[in-house]
C-alpha cells in the first residue's frame, strides 16, 4: 500500500467526485470533505491469533477468503495499538497459560492513549488464567478482558474513556468493550463538530434515533431545549446515561427503544410501558438526527423522519443514504453535505446530510 500524500489525495478526490455525481439528483453541488490522518487513525482493531512453530503472531484474512496474512506492523492503528502489539505478542509467547487456545485479539484505544485488550479463547478461563492475565495487564499498563464461550472475565474494567472537544467544550465518553464506537477518533471529532455547527440555529427540541452511547447526543444537546434519544442496545443505553451524568448534561432523556417503536409511539399507533413516565406531548420537535446501521432506515421510519422541519442524517453507506433520501427530498432540500473519510485507502465513505423543509 502506498501511504504517500499524493496517493491519498488522489483517492480522496475520487471519493469526493463519486459522491458529487451520486447525489447530484438531490441538488447537491458541493460536498465538504473531512480527510483522515494517513496513519495511526484506527482506535479499534481485531486480529486472528496465528499459532505456528515460531510462536504466536497477528494475522488478518483476505476479504472473502480464508487466506491469512501475517501482520508485523499495523500503521493504520493508533499509536497505542502500535505500541502494544509487539509487547503483547512477546508477553503471550512467553506465557503458555495466556497463549494456549487463544484465537482472537481485539484492541480498543482512545486518542489520549488509553487502551483495553480483549483475549478470546477456545477454552474455559479459570483462576490460573486470571492470575497470569492480571500480571500481564500490570506489565503492559493496559486493561485486559478474557472471553470464551458463555464467559467474560473482567480484570479491572471493560471500558475506556475518550474525549472530544466540540464547539469549544470537552465531552468525555465511556466506550464499552463490545459496543459500537466510531473507529476513527479524529474523523469522529470532525463529524461531531460538523453536526453541532450545522444545527446551532435550529432551536426547539431534538429527536435522535440510533443514539448509541450518546456520541452525537451530548454535543447536539447544547443546540436544543430538550432531547429525546433512543437506542435498542441495552449496554449502549447504560453508557449513554453514564456519559450524560459524566458531562453534567440534564436536558437529555434516553429510552431503550427501536426506531420503529418510537415512531409508532409518536404516531400514537400504540403505547409502551417504557414511555409511561415521559410526556411525549410536551416535546416541540424541530429536528431529527439519525445515524442508522448500513442497511439504512425502513420505509415507515423514513416517512416518519420526513415530518420534521430539519433532518440531520449521518450514513456509513451511500447506497442506502441515497435510497432513504428519495422520500424526504419531495418536501426538503439538501442544505449541506459532507464526506468523512473514516477509512482512508478503502472504498468506504461516510456521509452527512442536512435537510430543511422547503
Would you call 196 helix, strand, or coil by DSSP?
helix
DSSP 8-state code for residue 42: B
For residue 299, report the phi and psi dihedrals to the nearest 5 degrees.
Answer: -65, -40
Its sign, for the CA torsion 122, 125, 130, 132, is negative
Catalytic residue, from 316, 335, 347, 351: name it. Answer: 316
Q: Summarize pLDDT for 248-301 with one digit per residue, the tens.
A: 999 999 999 999 999 999 988 888 888 989 999 999 999 999 999 999 999 999
What pTM did the predictor assign?
0.94
Would you call 316 a catalytic residue per the annotation? yes
Its sign, for the CA torsion 41, 44, 49, 54, is positive
Q: What DSSP line would sit under 220-250, residue for residue?
A: HGGGSS-EEEEES-HHHHHHHHHHHHHTT--
Q: How far apart are CA 56 and CA 99, in angstroms?
A: 8
Q: Summarize pLDDT for 199-247 with one digit per residue, the tens.
A: 999 999 999 999 999 999 999 999 999 999 999 999 999 999 999 999 9
Catalytic residue, from 188, 263, 350, 351: name it. Answer: 350
Q: What is the mean pLDDT of residues 138-146?
A: 98
Q: Summarize pLDDT for 297-351 with one digit per residue, the tens.
A: 999 999 999 999 999 999 999 999 999 999 999 999 999 999 999 999 999 999 9
Q: Summarize pLDDT for 97-134 with one digit per residue, the tens.
A: 999 999 999 999 999 999 999 999 999 999 999 999 99
Ordered structural domains, the chain, with CATH: 5-30+181-357 (3.40.50.150), 44-157 (2.40.50.1070)
Task: Record the cell numbers describing residue 21, joined without a space.
Answer: 455525481
Would you call 300 helix, strand, or coil by DSSP?
helix
Which helix (H) or strand (E) segment holds residue 84: the answer is helix 79-93
Would you call 30 a catalytic residue per the annotation? no
Amino acid at each position: 500500500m502506498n501511504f504517500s500524500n499524493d496517493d491519498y489525495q488522489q483517492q480522496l478526490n475520487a471519493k469526493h467526485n463519486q459522491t458529487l455525481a451520486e447525489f447530484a439528483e438531490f441538488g447537491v453541488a458541493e460536498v465538504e470533505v473531512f480527510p483522515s490522518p494517513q496513519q495511526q487513525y484506527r482506535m479499534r482493531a481485531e486480529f486472528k491469533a496465528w499459532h505456528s512453530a515460531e510462536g504466536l503472531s497477528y494475522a488478518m484474512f483476505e476479504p472473502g477468503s480464508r487466506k491469512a496474512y501475517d501482520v508485523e506492523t499495523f500503521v493504520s492503528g493508533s499509536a497505542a495499538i502500535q505500541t502494544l502489539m509487539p509487547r503483547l505478542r512477546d508477553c503471550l509467547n512467553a506465557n503458555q497459560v495466556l497463549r494456549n487456545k487463544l484465537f482472537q485479539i481485539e484492541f480498543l484505544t482512545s486518542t489520549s492513549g488509553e487502551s483495553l485488550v480483549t483475549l478470546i479463547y477456545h477454552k474455559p478461563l479459570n483462576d490460573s488464567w486470571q492470575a497470569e492475565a492480571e500480571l500481564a495487564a500490570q506489565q503492559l499498563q493496559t486493561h485486559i478482558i478474557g472471553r470464551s464461550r458463555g464467559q467474560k472475565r473482567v480484570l479491572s474494567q471493560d471500558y475506556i474513556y475518550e474525549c472530544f472537544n466540540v464547539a469549544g467544550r470537552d465531552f468525555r465518553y465511556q466506550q464499552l468493550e463490545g459496543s459500537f464506537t466510531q473507529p476513527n477518533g479524529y474523523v469522529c471529532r470532525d463529524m461531531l463538530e460538523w453536526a453541532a455547527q450545522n444545527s446551532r440555529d435550529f432551536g426547539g427540541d431534538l429527536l435522535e434515533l440510533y443514539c448509541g452511547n450518546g456520541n452525537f447526543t451530548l454535543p447536539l444537546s447544547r443546540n436544543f431545549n430538550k432531547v429525546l434519544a433512543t437506542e435498542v442496545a441495552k449496554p449502549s443505553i447504560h453508557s449513554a446515561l453514564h456519559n450524560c451524568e459524566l458531562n453534567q448534561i440534564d436536558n437529555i432523556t434516553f429510552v431503550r427503544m427501536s426506531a420503529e417503536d418510537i415512531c409508532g409511539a409518536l404516531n400514537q399507533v400504540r403505547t409502551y410501558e417504557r414511555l409511561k413516565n415521559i410526556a411525549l406531548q410536551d416535546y416541540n420537535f424541530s429536528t431529527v438526527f439519525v445515524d442508522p446501521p448500513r442497511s439504512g432506515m425502513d420505509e415507515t421510519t423514513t416517512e416518519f423522519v420526513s415530518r420534521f422541519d430539519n433532518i440531520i442524517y449521518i450514513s456509513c453507506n451511500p447506497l442506502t443514504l441515497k435510497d432513504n433520501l428519495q422520500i424526504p427530498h419531495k418536501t426538503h432540500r439538501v442544505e449541506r453535505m459532507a464526506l468523512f473519510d473514516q477509512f482512508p485507502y478503502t472504498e468506504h465513505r461516510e456521509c452527512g446530510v442536512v435537510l430543511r423543509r422547503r
